[in-house]
Every structure is written in C-alpha cells, then in structure tokens.
C-alpha cells in the first residue's frame, strides 16, 4: 500500500550524513541543482509542481547492477501504456492527438497552442484526463473547433494520426469530443460516492457495459478467477473476464494471448535481458517467475513471484512490477499496472531497519483484541531506496513510502517489504517551503516544534505506517474471503487509516528511544500529532477545488476520518477562530493517544471480520464530506503561499554506453529537466517496441 505524504525525512538524513562526515576535509562546492522545472495550473486544477528527480549513488553501482537497472527500467517504460489504458478507454487515443499537436506547432494560433500544451502536461502528469486527487475530469481549455483546426494544422506539418478501420478523422474527433471537452460526460474516474453505482458511475476502463450489482453477483457466484489482473466486459448479455497476459503459444505453450499481450511481450523481452544481470540466483529465478506470470496471467504464478520477491533481500537493485494497487477500482479488486525501479542505500537502511527487526514487540502491544494479533512475526524488511524510474500508477506522481505485497495470505505467512523513497522525499524537501506551516500552525510553539522535530516525526510516521502498519494484524478465521473483497469501496481508505493509526499509536512507545531511533518521546509525539491534525483538518483541503463537497482520494479520506472522529469522540482537539482564520489545537495528547487506540482497535476488528456496515458508517460519517466554507477559507489563505496540490516528477534517463564490440561498458545517467521531452521519448519508445513485438508475434 502506498502513503502519499510530503515528508521532510531528508533533513534527518542530511544531519546523519553530516555527523558521519564531520571530520573529513571539505569538498568543493557543487553547482546548485535545478529541482522545480515549472508550476502549472489550469482553471481549478492544480497548481501542480513539475520537479526533476535525481538518483545520486547510481554512479557507484557496479556495471552489472547498472545494466540490470537499465533493462528493468526499459521493461517499466515498455508497459506504461497499460496503466494509461486502464484509466480510460480513450486515454491513449487522446494522448496521440495532443502529442501530435504538441510536436507540430508551426502555424497554430499561439494562445490555442499554449492551452493545448497545458492540457497535455496535465494529461502526462495524471496519465489520463482525470485529476489524481479529485478523480474528476479536466477538460481542454480551448474550443473543440480551435483544437480541430490545430490538429489539422499539425497534420499538414507532418503529424501522423492513427485511425480505426473505416473511421475518418472527423468521426474520430466526434467520438472523442465528449471525453475531452464535456465536463458532464463521465465526470469521475473512480466513483465511491455512497448511493451511486461504483462501476457504472466510474469512467475507468476496468469494467465495460455493466454495473456494480451485476458484477457483485457474478463474482460471488465464483466466476471471477482473476480479480486482480483482468477486465470484466459484458458480451452478448453475459459477463466475461478478460485477463491481462502475453500468452505462451508462440513458445509452444497452451496459453492464448490476452489483453495487453503486445505490451507485456515487450516488457518480458527486457525482463529476459535483465535476468542475465541479476545480482544472485534467487533474483534471477524470481524474474523468471514474473515473466511466467505475465505469460499466463495466473494469480498462482503472481503469488509465487511475491513469495520469492519477499524472500530476496540481498540485492542492491530491486523493482516493483505488476498489477499492484487497487485504488483505481471502486470495488478494490482490479490492480493497475505500475513499476518502480530502484537501488538501496545500505547505510540509511541499517539505521531504520531496527523498526522491522522489532516487529513482534510492537505487534504484541497493538491495542486490538488478541485474536487479531500475529504470534510469529518474522523480522520485516525495511529499505531506504533511490528511485530511478517510476511508471504507470507509480509515476509521474509518486508515493514516498510503499509496503508490499498486498495479498493478505502472503503477508501473514512470508512477511513483506517496506521502502522509503529517499530521493522522492528529498525532492519534496527541496521544493516545498515552510510558509504553509507558519500559516496554519496554531502558534509559535507549534512552529518551533515542527522546526526541531518535524522531520524526525515525519520519518517515523512513514516507517511505522509502512513497516508495522500494513504488515500487522491478522484476519478472523470466520472471514472466508480477503478483507479487500469483503469491504468494496471502503477497504483502501480503511487500510490506510489503520496504518496511519499504528504510527500514531506506537510513536509513544519508549522502545523507539531504547533502540536509538528517536532521542525522546513526547516532543516527537507532539510534532507528529500536531501535523496530523493540521494537515487533515486544514492543509489538505487545498486539494479540493470549489464546486466539490467531498473527498475522493483514499489517503485524504483516511486522514480526515481519523481527525474528525477524534474531534467528536475523544475530547482532545478544539477548533479556534482568530481574526477570521480557523485553527485546530490539540488540548490533550494523552487523550488523543487513547482515542487513537480505540479507533485503531475498531478498524482492525472491521478489517478482520469484514464488517462492511461498520466500515461504511465510519468512513461516510467522518471521512467523506468536507466543510466547504472551511475549504474556501483555506484556498484564500493559500493564495499568497508557494503551494502545489501535488508534484509530477521527471525521471532520470539511462543510456547504455557500448564498446567497439557492441557490449555495454557503462550506463550513463542524465537529467532531462523537461517533462515534454521525456514523455515524448517514452511514447516513441513504446510505439516502436510494440510494432516490433507485434511483428514478432505474427510470425
């Protein structure tokens, strides 16, 4: 599960590095890097900050590790179009049109072209025409006729547009017009609004021609064999499960190609090359398991891969690759493709691994009933990593912490891996100011507390959330299905709340001081609790534009649910008005901790028992609707601040260097500082590779 939280972990790490090197001679001052490339806003969407991501330490990898990283990165890019297509059935076609205009601007009206470029950048950052935070569609900021004229000019300039058989350009544009220009047409990518149909009301491309009641009855009848990696389509009045797989008939096997066969075939070709440079036999074997899964689409093969991935802990270079997170699906069943290619920072990992090593200690002290506690917790793997490439659901908008696999039975039997994405967090630190803290903190003491302990508190929140939170607890034997299936529409919010509450609960434990991770308890508690309330009650409201009265994104709903439940039920938070501005102050940290424990125990019970009614009541009551007047106040207060609703990252670029014999002698890393250049390179690469793969498969 992913935690989207802009932390200041980098400050803690920097202080540790300085302490380790304080006696070494000073190095020459390096030129200042550019992080922020631009900030974009389109109507009420944004502002969004575009930031260059740096991967320091890549140069220190061995040649074998560099080449492994390069091929894994190519596999990640090769499959990115899958995630875009999953977001909307027309997303790839829309992208082709806007990229055609973007690359052929000669003769296009300047203002029209600028508006199309702006729309294109938002599409690239969000992997579709729907906003990451609100799940609402954004529309082209020019007229249909203006866009059509611009496209026709681009075609005259040499742009190539693919057309379906028997379809003219005018017919194609008329077909795509509502998706690009009509805000009322399929307005929500993932609709979890109570009382509305979660499938028929969602614009994503995970279900076709059906509704929630039909799919729910069909799945409960045992027809859904590949819930994670499939699309459900109504054909001739019957629901059909179409599995994402490359097939293996071209290799003499018996499995027919499925959805995204060509994309997966390309990804497999690069995974085969990566396998030759694996760090050890176990990693090579595991890459083979992933290849087999992509060929068969069989979730038994996916399970075997996940077990092997959890067990393989020695490699410097690692990856997340597959149909993983289920946030896009209102049912919480279908996984969206994502990939994260990374390498570890051993020194920093060693420091924070102490949390995972003591997992059983913390599990024993969870505030929920003993029947939901694990009795044989293996030490949990925690790694500080640097990202090289993220695609699909993982990028350009990135998490800062990840805990996988999501499959409950694998977690309980084999454990999990948790990572902190250090260079992502570092980039947030470099591009975010402290003016928001000063604006929304209740008083100077709160500001001072955040200045001194905020970085450490944020770091610990991530570690405890990812390492202990998602990996903790067990399911009741009375629940015969995965909790995810028992809590459709609510599981993701509930699980993120559970992990957040684990962090808020255990930050009090003196064990953290004993093992040397934090210097004291209460000051770090105060910094963590203050930010939790400030962010949930005020700061995150900046992400909800006017015209919207509810939260859509699961992490935002989780945070509001926790804070609002505590506000009403724990007698520990008060709202204060001062000169027309609202503030939220914690009146008792001890009462808040008690409230956190009670809420956490109840959420674990809900998950363990699959109590849908209780999950619905809790989240709908406290996590869904916002105070629109307070949101409007927050937006006004934000106007003078250097804010960004979210960040889109430009990834490092890897290029192989070959010797005279055609062998890779090095892998060069560079930093494009240009979102458009990178996105166009990705599109060109996937197009050429899919054409190559299609030709190979047709033989």
Give the residue from 675, 655, 646 showing the smallest Cα distance to 424.
Answer: 646
Question: What phi and psi values does residue 641 have, to the nearest 5 degrees?
Answer: -105, 160
How far apart, in whole angstroms, are the C-alpha atoms of residue 444 and residue 438? 8
Task: Order the strands of the 317-323 sheet from edge to edge.
Answer: 2-3, 401-404, 417-421, 381-392, 337-344, 317-323
Helices (H), 393-542: 408-414, 422-431, 435-440, 444-463, 483-486, 491-506, 511-514, 522-537
Of 183-197, 231-245, 369-383, 577-591, minimum mean pLDDT range: 369-383
Confidence of residue 30 (pLDDT cuts 50, 70, 90): low
Reduced to 3 states (helix: H, G, I; strand: E, B; else coil), residue 67 is: helix
Query: What span, in angstroms and rounded, lies between the C-alpha atoms of 333 and 488?
Result: 8
Tokens of 535: 């962010």
**pLDDT for 170-218, tens place per residue?**
999 999 999 999 999 999 999 999 999 999 999 999 999 999 999 999 9
DSSP run (H or E) holding 648: strand 646-650
CA 437 to chain centre: 25
- Tens-digit pLDDT profile for residues 676-691: 999 999 999 999 999 9
pLDDT band of 12, cuts 50, 70, 90: very low
Please say if the pLDDT value at position 668 is more than 90: yes
More confident residue, 189 or 18: 189
Q: In sequence order, which residues have a C-beta less than 8 Å from that of residue 488 and are 6 or more positions away?
A: 198, 212, 216, 330, 331, 332, 333, 612
First-to-last C-alpha distance (Å) of the chain: 41
pLDDT confidence of residue 21: 38
Does residue 23 surpass a pLDDT of 50?
no
What sign does the CA torsion over 141, 6, 463, 561 have?
A: negative
568-579 burial code (b ≥16 CB/10 A, e <16) = eebebbeeeeee
- Separation of alpha carbons 640 and 314, rounded Å: 48
Q: How confident is the model at residue 15 (pLDDT cuts 50, 70, 90)?
A: very low
């Amino acid at each position: 599960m992913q935690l989207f939280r802009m932390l200041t972990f980098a400050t803690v790490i920097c202080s540790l590095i300085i302490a380790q090197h304080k006696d070494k001679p000073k190095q020459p001052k390096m030129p200042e890097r550019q992080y922020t490339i631009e900030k974009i806003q389109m109507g009420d969407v944004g502002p969004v900050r575009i930031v260059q991501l740096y991967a320091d330490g890549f140069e220190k990898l061995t040649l074998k590790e560099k080449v492994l990283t390069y091929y894994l990165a190519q596999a990640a890019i090769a499959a990115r179009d899958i995630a875009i297509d999953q977001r909307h059935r027309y997303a790839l076609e829309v992208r082709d049109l806007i990229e055609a205009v973007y690359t052929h601007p000669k003769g296009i009206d300047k203002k029209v072209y600028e508006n199309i470029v702006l729309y294109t950048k938002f599409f690239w950052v969000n992997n579709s025409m729907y906003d990451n935070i609100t799940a609402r569609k954004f529309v082209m900021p020019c007229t249909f006729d203006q866009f059509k004229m611009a496209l026709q000019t681009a075609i005259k300039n040499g742009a190539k547009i693919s057309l379906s058989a028997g379809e003219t350009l005018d017919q194609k544009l008329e077909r795509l017009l509502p998706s690009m220009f009509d805000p009322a047409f399929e307005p929500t990518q993932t609709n979890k609004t109570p009382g509305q149909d979660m499938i028929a009301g969602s614009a994503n491309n995970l279900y076709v021609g059906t509704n929630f009641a039909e799919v729910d009855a069909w799945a409960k009848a045992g027809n859904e064999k590949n819930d994670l990696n499939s699309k459900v389509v109504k054909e001739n009045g019957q629901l059909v499960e179409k599995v994402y797989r490359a097939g293996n008939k071209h290799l003499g096997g018996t499995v027919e190609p499925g959805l995204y066969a060509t994309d997966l075939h390309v990804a497999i070709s690069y995974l085969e090359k990566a396998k030759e440079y694996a760090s050890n036999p176990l990693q090579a074997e595991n890459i083979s398991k992933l290849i087999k899964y992509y060929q068969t689409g069989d979730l038994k093969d996916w399970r075997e891969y996940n077990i092997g991935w959890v067990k393989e802990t020695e490699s410097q270079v690692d990856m997340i690759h597959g149909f993983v997170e289920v946030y896009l699906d209102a049912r919480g069943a279908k996984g969206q493709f994502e990939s994260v290619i990374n390498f570890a920072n051993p020194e920093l990992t060693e420091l924070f691994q102490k949390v995972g090593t003591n997992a059983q200690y913390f599990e024993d002290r969870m505030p929920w009933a003993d029947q939901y506690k694990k009795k044989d917790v293996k030490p949990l793997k925690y790694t500080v990593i640097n990202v090289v490439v993220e695609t699909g659901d993982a990028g350009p908008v990135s998490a800062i912490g990840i805990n996988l696999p999501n499959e409950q039975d694998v977690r309980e039997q084999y454990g999990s891996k948790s990572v902190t994405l250090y260079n992502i967090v570092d980039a947030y630190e470099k591009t975010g100011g402290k003016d928001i803290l000063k604006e929304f903190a209740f008083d100077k003491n709160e500001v001072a507390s955040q200045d001194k302990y905020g970085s450490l508190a944020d770091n610990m929140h991530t570690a405890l959330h990812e390492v202990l939170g998602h990996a903790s607890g067990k399911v009741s034997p009375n629940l015969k299905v995965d909790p995810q299936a028992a809590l459709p529409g609510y599981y993701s919010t509930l699980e993120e709340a559970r992990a957040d509450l684990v962090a808020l609960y255990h930050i009090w434990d003196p064990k953290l001081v004993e093992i040397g991770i934090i210097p004291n308890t209460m000051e770090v508690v105060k910094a963590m609790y203050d930010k939790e309330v400030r962010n949930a009650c005020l700061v995150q409201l900046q992400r909800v534009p006017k015209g919207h009265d509810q939260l859509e994104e699961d992490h935002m709903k989780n945070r509001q649910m926790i804070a609002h439940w505590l506000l009403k039920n724990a007698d520990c938070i008060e709202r204060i008005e001062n000169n027309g501005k609202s503030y939220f102050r914690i009146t008792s940290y001890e009462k808040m901790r008690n409230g956190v424990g009670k809420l956490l125990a109840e959420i674990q019970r809900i998950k363990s028992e699959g109590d849908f009614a209780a999950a619905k009541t809790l989240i709908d009551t406290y996590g869904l609707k916002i105070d629109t007047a307070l949101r409007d106040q927050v937006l006004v207060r934000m106007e003078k601040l250097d804010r960004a609703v979210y960040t889109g990252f430009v990834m490092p670029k890897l290029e192989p260097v070959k010797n005279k014999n055609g062998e890779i002698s090095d892998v060069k890393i560079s930093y494009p500082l240009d979102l458009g250049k990178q996105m166009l390179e990705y599109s060109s690469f996937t197009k050429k590779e899919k054409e190559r793969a299609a030709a190979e498969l047709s033989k």
